[in-house]
Amino acid sequence: MRQPTFTRPLVLILIALGVAAAGGGCGASEDAPASTPALAASSLNRAEFAERAEAICSRGRREAIRFQPAGTDESKRDALTNDIEGTLLPSIDGAIGKLYALGAPAEEREQVEALLLAMREAVDTAEGLEPPTVEGIEDLFARSGKLARRAGLFSCAYGG
Amino acid sequence: MPKARLALAVLGAVLLGTPCAAAGAQGHPVFAASEPSYLEGERTGTDRWVVHGTEIACGRLTFSGELAADSDTLEVLPEHSECTAKALTGLIADFYQETCAYVLHDLRRAGPAARWEATVDIRCGGGYDATGWDLYENEDRYRAAHPLCETRILEGPDAGTAELRNLGGRRGGIEVRWDLHDLAYRVYTLEGFGASLLCGSPRNGVTKDAAYTGAATIFATGTGEKPTGLRVRG
């Protein structure tokens, strides 16, 4: 049976909204949001937040630099490039995602948000390094390192 | 130069030997040798440094020192080489300088069967106050003396303990099991004091989580390179 013509725009709008809603979830994950989200307010107090954030950053650092010796058929330089691209940067990105998910106490929110933006910016720029080097990455984290130390989150200072 | 140092050791023995020997005879344990001696040692088995969660493994570790016959203390200088930081694909870890010694003192019994324990201090000389290593990203950076970061273990008392066992026999010698922990260190980057993905980000300048475990044997020789029967005598 043919639908009345006045319902067609409504159907199209509903379809478009559905596609948009589904698309919003594409590529997003708990650890690594596709776009930079606003930092949620957290019910944690300052000390609890610092402890949890430091733990996230320590674990992220350990994962990022974990020992993966070069295979027999690859040069050390290629192995390091693969390691930086395949493990180091994704691990740091994962830690940033977890920090976003943690949120921050209201009074720390602005400071932590600036830190996370600087960290994400460093990761984004590092992904374009050619060739990627640890030294180059540490340089890119200089600003976020200063912000991390200023916030008392020493484990989150990956450079500087 | 070694002769001059041995002469100093002999002089030390003359000045200090009698009271120490007397103390040993009264049951106060001492490091004993038949005459002033040179000390030489090397690692046995595996050993490892762990600093800020990163392990540093070295291909070679030797010890050297001097002993003025009987003494309350034993001082040995570790020399690490062929070191790798077990991070990423393995980074070059170059020991910065070798003037910081392990000083063993406060000897005491530790359990049964000729086992002893000593407190270990890290003591530096030659104008240095720290030992440690520089981490390099690759060979090119190493040749250019361009480290990623520098870790400096600070000298200080009560760095940990050394468990000791006399090896016995005519040659003598002591087996040492090092257990150094909560060692204080600083981290430097090329920009000066700062943070580093590899070396860590020190809180208030100094971090205290470095540790060293390992085992070594130490032997003593005197004139003519004759073994002098190094042992702990209680």
Model ipTM value: 0.74
Residue B149 is part of which domain span?
A: 2-233
pTM for the predicted model, two decimal places: 0.78
Pick the range with the lowest mean pLDDT from A6-15, A129-138, B213-222: A6-15
- Residue B54's region, left for phi above 0, alpha for psi from -120 to 50, else beta, is beta
Asked whether the beta carbons of B96 and B132 are under 8 A apart, the reply is yes
Residues 6 or more apart in contact with residue A86 via CB below 8 angstroms: none
Domain ranges of chain A: 44-156
Q: CA separation (Å) from B8 to A133, B13, B36, B174?
A: 51, 8, 10, 23
Give residues 65 to 124 of A whose Cβ lies within 8 Å of B: 65-70, 76-77, 79-80, 83-84, 88
CA distance A122 to A127: 9
Burial class (CB in 10 A: 0-12, 13-18, 19+), B20: buried
Give the DSSP letter of residue B171.
Answer: T
Give the nearest partner residue to A133 out of B53, B137, B189, using CB atoms.
B137
**Residue B214 and residue B48 in contact, taking contact as beta carbons nearer than 8 Å:** yes
Helix/strand/coil for A157: coil
How many CB atoms are closer than 10 A to CB A160? 21
Q: State whether A69 and B89 contact (CB < 8 Å).
A: yes
Tell whether B203 is within 8 A of chain A (Cβ).
yes
Residue pair B67/B87 in contact by the 8 Å Cβ criterion = no
Note whether A143 contacts B: Cβ–Cβ < 8 A.
no
Q: Is B141 helix (H, G, I), strand (E, B) or coil?
A: helix
- CA B81, chain centre distance (Å): 14
Contacts B137 to A, Cβ<8 Å: 80, 133-135
- pLDDT, one tens digit per residue, over A52-111 is 999 999 999 999 999 998 888 888 889 999 999 999 999 999 999 999 999 999 999 999
Q: Which of A11-20, A148-157, B118-127 shows the lowest mean pLDDT across its residues?
A: A11-20
pLDDT along chain B (234 residues), means of 10: 50 45 63 97 93 91 94 95 94 85 95 85 90 91 91 94 94 96 87 75 80 97 94 93
Subunit contact A84:B54, Cβ cutoff 8 A: no
Number of domains in chain B: 1
Nearest to A65 by CA among A80, A48, A49: A80
pLDDT for residue A37 is more than 80: no
For residue B7, what pLDDT is reported? 52
